[in-house]
Structure 1
Amino acid sequence: MSRPDNRDFKRLFLADTPMMDTRSPGEFAEGAFPQAVNLPLMLDDERARIGTCYKHEGQQAAIALGHQLLQGAIKKARIAAWLDFAQTHPEGYLYCFRGGLRSRISQQWLQEAGIDYPRIIGGYKAMRRFLIHQLELSAQHRFIVVSGQTGCAKTRLLQGLADAVDLEGLANHRGSAFGKRLGGQPTQIGFENALSIALLKRRHAAPQAAIVLEDESRLIGRIAVPEVLRESLRQAPLVVVQMPLPERVEHTFHNYILRNLADWQAYAGELSGFATFAEELRQNLATLQRRLGGYRHSQLLAEMNAALAEHARGNPDAHRFWIEPLLRDYYDPMYAYQLGLKAERVVFRGSYAEVAAYLGEER
């Protein structure tokens, strides 16, 4: 029995329903949903040609051109990809931009191939509008913001909490000048979509519980935290993780050195991965040169280069010699100043374990 078309966006997102996005690759790249797979009806150049035809000759001529372009082996290949998705995800749905012609054609071709597959009414545009509204509703929810000096393992703490949303994870960036992650960042729209869905899930799972977020600046890498959410977070109570400098150096060393290098070498191979990792470290430090000052930057760069030379010989331990002064002399004073501006919002201070226990009780 075939399933009906669907416009229950909330249920679709809460269930992580698989979605077949039939928009062009260019449209998908601008913004998509976490559970969507791009299996386009038309590629970008095909869509551009049909769009030009529609503009100058009207809808019927554009449809005729579409059928001319999408026939034979091209049509068979696209239907085969859709059939594979539909058979792998029988609970899924398909959509195009507005839920109109492209998704109906995709439905029809699948039907002719023997599968009735439902579409999402209103398409991407309606779902995007829904998520923008949900983000505005989420911004009215109760929040707790976790703060702490660089290297306090705040992200790891959040990942252990049921009611937390990891902004840095969604942005695929650790937040600092050294925070780039392999794979790059999503688009701004893609980040907002994923954030809205994550907040919706937290609100649905525990409507009365505060949602825990990390204290972030306006930008996480190149991704902007939506202003409607930032305004709420500026009023939220603050919980501060306190950790001794040696422990923060170790956490930074393991995450920004050992883990980053392992990621790069798994992606690019041992030698090429190390070279890329080393160059990225130097570039990250260079972005701080103006704020560090020329003398302090040159000192840290010399320590970094010496550590990289040792690391290339198999001993990564010397990285601690530049990580410690960078944390102590650059990040810590900046953090102290920023926290001073928010002092009246602090409701709890404690060690990693104490903050984790406090947040568990707060839930």
Structure 2
Amino acid sequence: MRQNTADYRRLFLTDTPMMDMRAPVEYNRGAFPHTENLPLLDDRQRELVGKEYKRSGQQAAIELGWKLATADVRAQRLAAWKDFVQRHPDGYLYCFRGGLRSRTAQQMLHAEGIDYPLVEGGYKAMRNFLLEELDTHCRQLPLVVIAGHTGSGKTELLHCAARAIDLEGIARHRGSSFGRTGQPQPAQIDFENRVSIELLKLAQHPGPVFVEDESRLIGRCALPPVLQQAITASPRVMVEESVEARARRIVRDYVADALARFGDAETSPAEGLGEELRNNLGRIQKRLGGLRYRELDEQLQTANRELAQSGSADAYIPLVMALLTEYYDGTYDYLMEKREGEVVFRGSHAEVAEWLSEQKNPST
């Protein structure tokens, strides 16, 4: 029989599957990768038991919990748990603190002839472990920041590095007003947990870790302050590309490659994308000013029509160039003035890609 565990490091390094016994409302607020929410109590049952606990104490709450666990409810729970155990014989289960709910689930499984271990301390202990590790690794890991104006291809270059953490990939957002990817962003706690686990894995081996330069927010996901401070103070690799080259790359990524996301749109993909682009432009209307916003919106509508009629995205290029020079570049230059880390390399997209390749093979 496998024993209960408090080896949180091993659980996260090995992506151990875990069965989360908390109620859905708890799970949705924050969870870990490689977990499944198979609750002992649903949201309503948890609410009723919690009120009973406050009113009459633990024993009364336990008794109410068993009353709510009708034969049908127990059968449903056990069926889901057995399926998880069969699929993940080396997994674990946990609740919020590794207490009553976890042990009740263990007892119910034991009565069915199944002994399945739990995580001691539960979700709370694992969450605290990840927060402590995040703080440690942000202070100790040698980060190198890939920096450059919007459209420089920083994310592409990040994937050329031997060791990197893709914060935008974890956040499922490209980090600007136009940065939606069509996927829902994770909850803030989920984002923090995933970042901490990625850094934990990277810390198992020596060498610099590359990260893209990010502002405080990636969509709705906020960088933990300790990570933002580390990015600000770390050495930088500066990517220098012309405005036109950056605009063409943005149009490729945000228009040509994005059309596939709108295949199920009620209208055509081009019209669906065009509507999203106009909504995104509206997000920066105040910063642009009323007159300039109206001019750029008209330009955008013209580009949208050209895309719908001919399939060409070229009309977006001058619009994007205007947004870069009038809005994004100034904001980024202001942020760059606050950076403290030295510049260890500076070059075009192609030159930085070559430099990163040499870091993988320093002897060549």
The verdict on a shared fold, with TM-score over 0.5 as the criterion, is yes
Do 1:136 and 1:228's aligned partners in 2 also have CA atoms closer than 8 Å? yes
TM-score by length of 2: 0.93
Write the distance in 2 (CA, Å) between the matches of 1:257 and 1:212.
27
What's the offset of the Cα at 1:274? 5.2
The reply on whether 1:306 has 2:302 as its aligned counterpart is yes
Equivalent residue, structure 1, for 2:184: 184
Equivalent residue, structure 2, for 1:194: 194
More displaced 10-residue stretch of structure 1: 155-164 or 233-242: 155-164
The amino acid of 1:328's aligned partner reads: T
The match for 2:324 among 327, 331, 345 is 327
Equivalent residue, structure 2, for 1:4: 3
Equivalent residue, structure 1, for 2:82: 83
> Which stretches in structure 2 are left out of the alignment for 5+ residues?
none
Write the distance in 1 (CA, Å) between the matches of 2:137 and 2:107.
38
Do 1:178 and 1:284's aligned partners in 2 also have CA atoms closer than 8 Å? yes
What's the offset of the Cα at 1:17? 0.7
Write the distance in 2 (CA, Å) between the matches of 1:35 and 1:64.
32
Write the distance in 2 (CA, Å) between the matches of 1:160 and 1:74.
51
Equivalent residue, structure 2, for 1:173: 173
| CA offset digits 1:124-158 (Å, max 9, x no partner) | 00000100110111112211111011111211221
| CA offset digits 1:100-144 (Å, max 9, x no partner) | 111111112222223221111110000001001101111122111
What's the offset of the Cα at 1:22? 0.8
Structure 1 246/270 Cα, relative in aligned 2: closer, same or farther at 3 Å? farther
Write the distance in 2 (CA, Å) between the matches of 1:5 and 1:361.
46
What's the offset of the Cα at 1:314? 4.7
1:313-352 paired onto structure 2 within 5 Å: 313-317=309-313, 318-342=315-339, 345-352=342-349
The amino acid of 1:303's aligned partner reads: Q
Q: Secondary structure at the match of 2:165?
A: coil
Structure 1 251/46 Cα, relative in aligned 2: closer, same or farther at 3 Å? same
Identity %: 47
> Which stretches in structure 1 are left out of the alignment for 5+ residues?
none
Do 1:249 and 1:320's aligned partners in 2 also have CA atoms closer than 8 Å? yes
| CA offset digits 1:54-76 (Å, max 9, x no partner) | 11122122111111112222211
The amino acid of 2:179's aligned partner reads: G
Do 1:308 and 1:316's aligned partners in 2 also have CA atoms closer than 8 Å? no
What's the offset of the Cα at 1:225? 0.7
What's the offset of the Cα at 1:35? 1.4
Q: Secondary structure at the match of 2:344?
A: strand
How many corresponding residue pairs? 358
Do 1:135 and 1:199's aligned partners in 2 also have CA atoms closer than 8 Å? yes
TM-score by length of 1: 0.93
Structure 1 237/68 Cα, relative in aligned 2: closer, same or farther at 3 Å? same
Do 1:149 and 1:335's aligned partners in 2 also have CA atoms closer than 8 Å? yes
